[in-house]
Amino acid sequence: RDAPTINAIRFGLAGIKGVGEQAALKILAEREAHGAYKDFADFILRADSRAINKRVLENLTATGAFDFSGAPREELFAQIDDVLAALGELQRKYPALRREIAGPAKVEEPAESMLFDLGEAAGGMPLPDPATLAREFAELLRHTRRAPVLAAPAAGNGHHASSHGMFDLGQAKTENPKAKIPAAERRLTAANRLQFEKELLGFYISGHPMNAYLGLAEALNTHTEEAVLQEGDRIEFRLCGIASGITKKLSKKDNRPWAFFNLASKRATLSVNMYAEAYETYGKNLAENQPVVILGNVMRGDDGARLNVKECYPLDAHLPGTIRKVTWLLDPAHPELPDFLRKLRTTINGSGGETRVELAFLFENRVAPIAETASSLNWRVAPAAFQELRSHPAVAGTSVEARRPELKEVKRWGRRG
């Protein structure tokens, strides 16, 4: 966008993986010459097809380049094939839309848009005004097989009137997350949006995968990221985060595989090592950009502290047996308290487990008597259900208690004398 936005994140287009400098320069040149893009459709109609291909559009969409339009990334991403097909139909009708066959624009006669300045030079049917072209584009999209129903722009301003422009995505069908999708096709969903950001930008923007574990991760961690690096030699730790940058090596001593990787929380990223003994047992639990919990010890030497991983587990699978107790701090006067208690009971009934549940009621002067529920109401903690209950308006806070970490003993077999 032309005008900077308060609290916005600005990132160079060429820095987006798969976009490149040539495409970025074309995008910026068109914007500088003919004004800000109104929305995704306006961008498609004005883009230079010599530099903007399907993969560039996918990567721009996945990293939020069109968030300013108000249209959800996931829906725009799903429409790209249909949008390009509709554009191809429009280019056949109006050859001047195809930049590669058009002659240079006349310098002495600046046009409203480079796109429309090419009409006579390219031959074929002359280009209509922008509003008419936009309506034709929307009509073509309506007749594509997979596109959702799209509303034509309101007339009167010569461009696109609504906040979503010619794309009325409010009634679009949501994608079934369980539908089988061919491996060769990329799909952007709410579940993998952050993975796309990390892959294409190198970091997360719209959120962090560890947000799904707020309140739980803090209970599991025995140290903060800063404190663990200050610990003495052989001190044990337990930390959770997102594994990335997994690099596998072969030991020089016995040619056994080991790995080092990054463990990223919301606050910091730590470099950790998983040597051969641990890798043999737990290496299968390592996957790029997946949440894990690691147990290990600090190895302190002349070059500082190194974090040695002894055990590694998928975080979701490790939580139920590790979270010992959840205490819900509730507002007894809140009108929605009965609703919370019903939801809590329904959640527990659907997922019994080992975690104890307690209820505490916050009264004046911060006095909070605690009531422990029956063992029959023990819960198998699930991150999504925990976050839903935690965000309930009747909840004033939570206290989560985890079991103490205990590293498994490693049997070492000695040689016979």
Whole-number pLDDT of residue 304: 87
By DSSP bridging, strand 379-379 and strand 352-361 are antiparallel
Share of the chain above pLDDT 70, in %: 79
Whole-number pLDDT of residue 185: 55
- 32-46, 84-98, 224-238, 265-279, range with the lowest pLDDT: 84-98
Whole-number pLDDT of residue 6: 56
Whole-number pLDDT of residue 108: 38
Separation between Cα atoms, residue 160 and residue 133, nearest integer Å:
11
User: For residue 307, which amino acid is it?
Assistant: L
Whole-number pLDDT of residue 385: 96
Whole-number pLDDT of residue 124: 63
Whole-number pLDDT of residue 30: 87
Which residue, among 227, 404, 213, has the nearest Cα to 291 in the 3D structure? 213
Q: What is the pLDDT of residues 53-110, one digit of tens each?
A: 899 999 999 999 899 889 999 999 999 999 998 888 888 888 877 764 333 333 334 3
Whole-number pLDDT of residue 101: 38
Q: Is the pLDDT of residue 344 over 80?
A: yes
190 or 157, which is more confident:
190
Q: What is the mean pLDDT of residues 263-276?
A: 94
Identify whether the C-beta of residue 268 lies closer than 8 Å to the C-beta of residue 240. Answer: no
Name the band, by pLDDT with cuts 50, 70 and 90, for residue 5: low
User: For residue 86, which amino acid is it?
Assistant: A
Whole-number pLDDT of residue 294: 97
Measured in whole angstroms, the distance separating CA 27 from the mean position of its chain's CA atoms is 25
Q: What is the mean pLDDT of the chain?
A: 81
Q: Is the pLDDT of residue 381 over 80?
A: yes
Q: CB-hemisphere CA count at 13 Å for 311? A: 16
Whole-number pLDDT of residue 146: 53
Separation between Cα atoms, residue 228 and residue 177, nearest integer Å:
39
156 or 358, which is more confident:
358
Whole-number pLDDT of residue 302: 84
What value, to the nearest 5°, has the Cα angle with vertex 251 and ends 249 and 252?
120
Based on its alpha-carbon atoms, the radius of gyration of the chain, rounded to whole angstroms, reads 28
Whole-number pLDDT of residue 114: 38
Measured in whole angstroms, the distance separating CA 58 from the mean position of its chain's CA atoms is 15
Residue 41 tokens, joined: 């459709």
Q: What is the mean pLDDT of residues 372-399?
A: 94
- 45-49, 122-126, 334-338, 339-343, range with the lowest pLDDT: 122-126
- 97-101, 210-214, 237-241, 382-386, range with the lowest pLDDT: 97-101
Whole-number pLDDT of residue 174: 34
Whole-number pLDDT of residue 7: 64
Share of the chain above pLDDT 90, in %: 47
Strands (E), 150-209: none
Q: Which residues contact 248 (CB under 8 A, 6 or more apart)?
A: 257, 258, 259
Q: Is the pLDDT of residue 261 over 70?
A: yes
Residue 19 tokens, joined: 């976009």
Q: Is the pLDDT of residue 218 over 90?
A: yes
Q: What is the per-residue burial (b if ≥16 Cβ within 10 Å, else e) of 204-226?
A: beeebbbebbbbbbebbbbbebe
Q: What is the mean pLDDT of residues 281-303?
A: 94
- Which parts of 229-336 fold into alpha helices (H)? 276-282, 315-322
Query: Percentages helix, strand, coil for the chain, rounded to the nearest 5?
Result: 35, 20, 45
